[in-house]
Amino acid sequence: MKVFISWSGPRSKAIASALRELLPDALQNVEAWMSDHEIAAGARWSNELGQALEGSAFGVICLTPENLTAPWLLFEAGSLAKSVATSRVVPYLFDLAPADVTFPLAQFQGSQATREGTLRLLLGINQVLQSPMPAERVQRVFDRWWPGFEQRLQVVSQLDQTITVRRDEREILEEILELVRRSPPVGTNILNEPSTPTSIVWRTVHDVPREERSSMSITTLESYLKALRTRWNETSSRGEEDVLEGRIKQVEEEVASRNSTGTAAQ
């Protein structure tokens, strides 16, 4: 059985990598899938993601305080919700309490990254298997693997959760304009395939953080907004639409605020 593991950010990625190794070791006939290992650079992430989801019967979303609203993670969560039963999608909460999680992620029943929460996650996955192991055996196997997994979680705690790379404004603008150019008008794609950017482009353009947007000139910010609107008109993915709608609203408010401030200054 395939388990889809979603992540966003350095700490979330480290947790996902640890789970990717733990799950097949602790449970029989479980294959764990995460994008960092399976999607090659330049691959059409929509095709790769669709194929991974198609064969997945369970989803784990690695949540940390810094990625609760990360667009890429919300997009994958939305795709999971469409492909896997809600009861089989589990947010794995690191340095978070259940009350910290808001919608749309709050619709899923989460497990905390503790000994008890991790065991609960394994038992939940085990129940979905065609030939589940007895709960007592899962407990014994878990007890064997937990010390090593706990050490990896402790390392994650030490990782810098505020790592940001400030890019040159011209670099950002060029990426935005490239995204606009590669998105054809609605109805012009004769192959009926979305001209989706690669996962790298999605992460570097659509996941521009607020602090980076605040340093943009109004011209660059408006170009960014145009790119988001273009992508929203062109995408056929409901999950991506939901993510883009939220980001478009944020950027529209930022543009309006900038314009009103400029008018007042005049």
pLDDT at 138: 93
* pLDDT attached to residue 214: 80
Which pLDDT belongs to residue 134? 93
Beta sheet of 56-63, edge-to-edge order: 31-34, 2-6, 56-63, 89-93, 111-112
Looking at 98, 124, 158, the residue that finishes a domain is 158
CA gap 157, 152 in Å, rounded: 9
Residue 203 domain-assigned? yes
Query: Which domain range does residue 20 map to?
Result: 2-158
Do 145 and 252 lie in one domain? The reply is no
Q: How far apart are alpha carbons 46 and 79 in whole angstroms?
A: 10
Per-10-residue mean pLDDT of the chain, 266 residues long, equals 87 92 90 65 51 76 87 76 75 89 83 94 92 92 94 84 50 57 45 40 57 79 82 70 80 89 58
What is the model's pLDDT at position 169?
Answer: 55
Specify the number of domains making up the chain.
Answer: 2
* DSSP sequence for 10-24: HHHHHHHHHHHHHHH
Give me the pLDDT at residue 39, please.
Answer: 42
The residue with tokens 């900038």 is: 258
Q: Mark whether 16 and 147 lie in a shared domain.
A: yes
Do 18 and 153 touch, CB atoms closer than 8 A?
Answer: yes
